[in-house]
């Protein structure tokens, strides 16, 4: 049986001994994996065994030994991590030849970064009837993204979700890991009913002043507004500093690389700069000489040292000084 992430239902877990969770979106894979593990542990005490590329040659022995134990009441969950290259031969050969006992409670979870699974492979055909395949690709549409965020914000009312939803999504620009981190913060800040309204208002303001907005303003040289946003971020969300430093390092590094490349636009494209941002980067490059860009890049490196604690000083003030220089003509 094949499903996409949003189609998964925990009721599926009891029907299959084998789960193939695959796709590039690691946070979605981890969510599905955690749901399966939690369900199993709630049903009975379970022994968890984790295998990867280094010990897959032991797969057959481990599965057979633990299926034998399982028949006498010891449930087992085997997690096979496959995070690079093709599926290992030791694994595919085992699944192509092995017949699982019908009365066993053993669960096997294959966690793979493979985007597509060839349904004509021998081992896939063999396990087809007993395996639930769950695809976890990057979210294809804004609708899917909103559906996922709504499901994660189930501790809020529908009205409260509507209040935050668009700003939360815009602030994170498709980065599910970053969104998930923000959702954890929302959950903590909204625990007390008496302070929830104020927390939601501050969170909304924080999302509206995201570091991604700062990227555009730096590239455009909008010093006045970018400094204003940084001061507001410092007051309302000190944790936003990590995202702010990431944006500054992104701008300085990619600008230096593009400036030293014979085709700046091509360099930016290869760096996965969004197409709608390339004109902003080109404007930034035309405004600054290579020497200035090198200085910005070195200063961004020192800011990272401040952040990691190896240097002392007021890091927020250092950020503001660098941003002012980057915005200057």
The count of structural domains within the chain is 3
Residue 241, pLDDT score: 80
162 and 128 fall within a common domain: no
pTM for the predicted model, two decimal places: 0.62
216 and 313 fall within a common domain: yes
70 has a pLDDT exceeding 60: no
User: Tens digits of per-residue pLDDT, 188-231?
Assistant: 889 888 888 888 887 887 777 666 678 889 999 999 989 988 88
Matching residue, tokens 């996922």:
148
Q: Does residue 231 lie within any of the structural domains?
A: yes
121 and 200 fall within a common domain: no
Q: Does residue 259 lie within any of the structural domains?
A: yes
> How far apart (Å, rounded) are the C-alpha atoms in residues 252 and 232?
23
17 and 131 fall within a common domain: yes
315 and 190 fall within a common domain: no
Quick check: helix, strand or coil at residue 84? coil
53 and 158 fall within a common domain: no
Q: Does residue 77 lie within any of the structural domains?
A: yes
Q: Does residue 141 lie within any of the structural domains?
A: no
User: Tens digits of per-residue pLDDT, 45-61?
Assistant: 678 888 887 788 878 88
* Cα-to-chain-centroid distance, residue 93: 32
304 and 241 fall within a common domain: yes
Q: Give the CA distances from residue 3 to residues 12, 137, 241, in Å, rounded to whole numbers and listed in that order.
A: 10, 11, 38
Residue 69, pLDDT score: 54
Domain region containing 326: 210-329
Q: Does residue 280 lie within any of the structural domains?
A: yes
> How far apart (Å, rounded) are the C-alpha atoms in residues 142 and 289?
39
Token couple for 219: 């590239």
Q: What angle do CA 206, 239, 141 make, to 5 degrees?
A: 55
Question: Closest by alpha carbon to 112, among 142, 137, 80?
Answer: 80
On whether the CB atoms of residues 241 and 209 are closer than 8 A, the answer is no
Q: Does residue 238 lie within any of the structural domains?
A: yes
Quick check: helix, strand or coil at residue 222? coil
31 and 129 fall within a common domain: yes
Q: Give the CA distances from residue 146 to residues 6, 91, 150, in Å, rounded to whole numbers and listed in that order.
A: 11, 37, 6
86 and 200 fall within a common domain: no
């Amino acid at each position: 049986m094949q499903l996409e992430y949003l189609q998964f239902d925990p009721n599926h877990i009891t029907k299959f001994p084998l789960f193939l969770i695959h796709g590039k979106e690691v946070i979605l894979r981890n969510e599905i994996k955690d749901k399966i593990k939690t369900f199993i542990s709630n049903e009975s005490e379970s022994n968890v065994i984790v295998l990867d590329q280094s010990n897959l040659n032991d797969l057959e022995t481990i599965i057979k030994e633990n299926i034998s134990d399982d028949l006498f009441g010891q449930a087992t969950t085997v997690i096979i991590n496959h995070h690079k290259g093709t599926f290992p031969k030791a694994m595919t050969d085992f699944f192509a030849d092995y017949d699982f006992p019908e009365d066993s409670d053993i669960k096997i979870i294959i966690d793979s970064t493979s985007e597509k699974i060839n349904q004509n492979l021998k081992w896939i055909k063999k396990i087809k009837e007993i395996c639930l395949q769950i695809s976890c690709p990057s979210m294809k549409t804004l609708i899917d993204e909103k559906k996922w965020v709504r499901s994660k914000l189930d501790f809020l009312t529908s009205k409260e979700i509507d209040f935050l939803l668009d700003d939360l999504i815009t602030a994170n620009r498709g980065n599910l890991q970053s969104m998930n981190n923000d959702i954890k913060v929302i959950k903590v800040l909204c625990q007390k009913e008496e302070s929830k309204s104020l927390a939601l208002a501050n969170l909304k303001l924080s999302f509206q002043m995201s570091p991604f907005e700062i990227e555009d303003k730096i590239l455009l040289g909008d010093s006045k507004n970018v400094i204003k946003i940084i001061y507001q971020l410092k007051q309302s969300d000190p944790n936003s500093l990590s995202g702010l430093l990431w944006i500054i390092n992104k701008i300085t590094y990619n600008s230096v690389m593009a400036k030293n490349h014979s085709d700046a636009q091509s360099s930016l494209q290869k760096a996965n700069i969004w197409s709608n941002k390339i004109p902003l980067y080109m404007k930034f490059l035309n405004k600054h000489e290579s020497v200035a860009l090198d200085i910005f890049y070195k200063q961004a490196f020192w800011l990272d040292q401040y952040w990691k604690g190896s240097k002392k000083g007021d890091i927020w003030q250092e950020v503001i000084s660098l941003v002012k220089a980057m915005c200057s003509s």
